[in-house]
Structure 1
Amino acid sequence: MPKPPAKPPCACSKKAGSEPLNSPIDLGAEVKPGPAELKEPWEFNGLEKMLCTEIKNDGEQIIIRICPKQSPVICGGGLSHSEYIIDRIDFHWGSAHTVNNERLPLETHIFMYCTEFCGIDEALQKEGAAAFSILHEYSDITSCGICKLIPFVSQINKCVNKPIPYCVISLKDFLPENKDNFIRYTGSTTYPPYKPGLEWTVFQEKLPITRIDLGQFTNICDQDGKLIVSNFREIQPIPPGAEIFSFSDGKDCSCSTPKQ
């Protein structure tokens, strides 16, 4: 694959000598409007492509692994590198991030890395990894991606580290319609060992989920057979001077309806 052209560093990247920002954080008063020069349109290549993957319960969360050769390519959006591919999708119940100190029922994380690197571990060491965060709120309907996921969740709720085929999914099903309204900051992974240098995009449009469907997640068991009632990391402090920016197209960010 040809090496994509380098981009200038994102203003959200950690400044030299500044205290690192860990994730997750509360998205509240510290969020400031992002500089206009950082606003850049997204380009998603292969977003609707159907992927054959595998899903597993690792005893702490549900993980969907994406084969690099199948992954859609993500460009733009003001991210620090030119092209990214997906590594994995995982889920947190309740949400990892909070909004004005409110915790939502579910959060989807889509981890990706720059195509210059061999994998996400190398990318995290060199500030070449990024993540999408999609928050879910209670509704009387459930988004399309979660609807398709639920039957597989029930198959792995007591089977730890035993992946099963998950065919087929489309990344589009897990993303909101409005991808231009988001919060951007550079933090860390939300799973051990909490590696720094991860560029977060938290979409402001929330996707719906019913209480019944959320119950499928809280039925997941750990290695000792105990229910994982919640699996979020505690909110991390925000150091002085941290750059947490919001970008908006001015459109409404209310809850999406499922794309059936």
Structure 2
Amino acid sequence: MSNNGVRPVMYAVPRRDQTNVVASIFMCTKLVHLCMESQWTLLELYHSLKEESGVGDEECECEDDEEDDCERDEDCDWSYKGDTVTAAPSPEPHARLSMSGEVFAVMNRQSGSCTGPESRGLSHFHSRMEGKHQSPIDLYDGTPMTATPFQFHNYDDTPTSVTVINNGDTARVTVDMPNTPYVSGGNLDGEYEFVQLHFHWGSNNSVGSEHLIQHKRYPCEVHLVHYKKSYKDQATATKYEDGLAVLGVMFTISEEDNPALAGLITALASVTKPCGQKATVSSLLLSTFLPNNRNNFYRYQGSLTTPPCNEAVVWTVFSDTLNISAAQMAAFRKLKDAHGHPMVDNFRPLQPLGTRPLYFANSA
């Protein structure tokens, strides 16, 4: 009995739950400790620790348990809802975190599980997140540089097929081509083969892009992902700082529909559900996603924007934009994520530039 005469209430924990209780205490203790040593948000750490401890493991299930019909990506894809973290300018252990919304992780799992040393566990995720060459960033005041013209090989060729997939994180587009598309020039060191393109967008037309240009965020940003051909394959390329070349292009809202996007917008209506729904896109060229002015762009060394956030990306973000109407933009927001929620704000928070050089090519 307590000093004030009130009998404390005691609760017995069933034996079957004791393991989870102990694991949860361990997880919470480590969570607080790591939050003080890093610039992670609580929810980012929570999901990673849950992976490490095994507490609350659940299979990623498709609607109506149609697991056999669920095509999944090979890797764990994480997405971030909302621009919720303001990265601290210094690595102080007690650096203050700014949190204004929800950060959540979504994993698409091959065969119902996400396994392997490259895709599981806190240590791998944490080491990547602590890197000093992370993306995206705010692009401004770049050092002027002279760049060779970009050469886009086979980007104007008609694909044999174009497929869009809802992987629970984004709308991803892949192509089958008679001749493999690749890019060179633009001060890239070598030839980079096209892999896929995908989009980041917001819940309204004032947010959506991952990068900012001169402190401005756009409603949508497309990323065209390539790997360096000399590294033989994409998996090998991610081990090198120049292994990937990602081209970023912003969209601005126009009064009229962009006719070049008509096939894609139509296909989006067939992939509103997650778990890898696919649709064929008609009449879509890769050059559709390149701006008219390809001479003005920002260049910096960065990372993938989804964990494990490999610092293997030579980033090119064009200052010229593409058009998309409000109605076309709304078609993206009809997609559902892996939790069945509206797929919006799937952009990662800004990362500090640090001591990295940022260049801007401004050629005629």
Q: Normalising TM by the smaller chain, what interval?
A: 0.7 to 0.9
Tell me the secondary structure at the aligned position of residue 284 of structure 2.
strand
Q: Which residue of 1 aligns with 2:349?
A: 234
Tell me the secondary structure at the aligned position of residue 169 of structure 1.
coil
Contact 2:263–2:282, Cα closer than 8 Å, also in 1: no
Q: Which one has a larger percent helix, Structure 1 or Structure 2?
A: 2
1:20 CA displacement:
2.9
Q: Which residue of 2 aligns with 1:86?
A: 194
Distance of 1:66 and 1:124 partners within structure 2: 21
Tell me the secondary structure at the aligned position of residue 266 of structure 2.
helix
Post-superposition Cα deviations, 1:173-224, rounded to whole Å, max 9, x if no partner, equal 1111111111111100112221112001101101111111111111110122
Amino acid at match of 1:66: V
Distance of 1:184 and 1:144 partners within structure 2: 30
1:70 CA displacement:
4.1
1:165 CA displacement:
2.7
Post-superposition Cα deviations, 1:14-46, rounded to whole Å, max 9, x if no partner, equal xxxxx73211101123x2212x3xx21222221
Is 172-181 or 41-50 further displaced after alignment?
Answer: 41-50
Contact 2:166–2:278, Cα closer than 8 Å, also in 1: yes
Amino acid at match of 1:79: L
Q: Residue 107 of structure 1: which of 218, 221, 225 is its match?
A: 221
Distance of 2:306 and 2:162 partners within structure 1: 21
Q: Which residue of 1 aligns with 2:182?
A: 73
Q: Which residue of 2 aligns with 1:32?
A: 143
Identity %: 28
Tell me the secondary structure at the aligned position of residue 226 of structure 2.
strand
Q: Which residue of 2 aligns with 1:255?
A: none
Distance of 2:319 and 2:227 partners within structure 1: 22
Q: Which residue of 2 aligns with 1:48?
A: 156
Tell me the secondary structure at the aligned position of residue 116 of structure 1.
helix
2:135 counterpart of 1:23: yes
Distance of 1:33 and 1:249 partners within structure 2: 10
Tell me the secondary structure at the aligned position of residue 187 of structure 2.
coil
User: What are the ranges of 5 or more consecutive residues in structure 2 without an aligned counterpart?
Assistant: 1-130, 202-207
Tell me the secondary structure at the aligned position of residue 110 of structure 1.
strand
Amino acid at match of 1:27: L
2:292 counterpart of 1:177: yes
Q: Which residue of 1 aligns with 2:74?
A: none
1:89 CA displacement:
0.4
1:114 CA displacement:
1.6
Amino acid at match of 1:122: T
Distance of 1:92 and 1:153 partners within structure 2: 14
User: What are the ranges of 5 or more consecutive residues in structure 1 without an aligned counterpart?
Assistant: 1-18, 251-260
Contact 1:190–1:233, Cα closer than 8 Å, also in 2: yes
Is 214-223 or 144-153 further displaced after alignment?
Answer: 144-153
Distance of 1:163 and 1:102 partners within structure 2: 33
Distance of 1:66 and 1:118 partners within structure 2: 19
Relative to structure 1, the CA distance from residue 120 to residue 209 in structure 2 (aligned partners, 3 Å threshold; closer, same or farther) is same
Q: Which residue of 2 aligns with 1:15?
A: none
Amino acid at match of 2:228: C
Q: Which residue of 2 aligns with 1:8?
A: none
Q: Which one has a larger percent strand, Structure 1 or Structure 2?
A: 1
Describe how 1:182-201 pairs up with structure 2 within 5 A: 182-201=297-316
Amino acid at match of 2:360: S
Q: What number of residue pairs does the alignment pair up?
A: 226
Tell me the secondary structure at the aligned position of residue 270 of structure 2.
helix
2:275 counterpart of 1:166: no
Tell me the secondary structure at the aligned position of residue 222 of structure 1.
coil
Describe how 1:132-151 pairs up with structure 2 within 5 A: 132-151=247-266
Q: Which residue of 2 aligns with 1:5?
A: none
TM-score, L = length of structure 1: 0.81
Relative to structure 1, the CA distance from residue 119 to residue 142 in structure 2 (aligned partners, 3 Å threshold; closer, same or farther) is farther
Tell me the secondary structure at the aligned position of residue 301 of structure 2.
strand
1:117 CA displacement:
2.6
Greater C-alpha radius of gyration: 2
Contact 1:67–1:87, Cα closer than 8 Å, also in 2: no
Contact 1:68–1:86, Cα closer than 8 Å, also in 2: no
Contact 1:218–1:230, Cα closer than 8 Å, also in 2: no
Distance of 1:168 and 1:118 partners within structure 2: 30
Tell me the secondary structure at the aligned position of residue 169 of structure 2.
coil
1:68 CA displacement:
7.4
1:50 CA displacement:
1.1
TM-score, L = length of structure 2: 0.59
Amino acid at match of 1:57: N
Post-superposition Cα deviations, 1:203-259, rounded to whole Å, max 9, x if no partner, equal 1101111111111111110122110121000011111x3111000124xxxxxxxxx
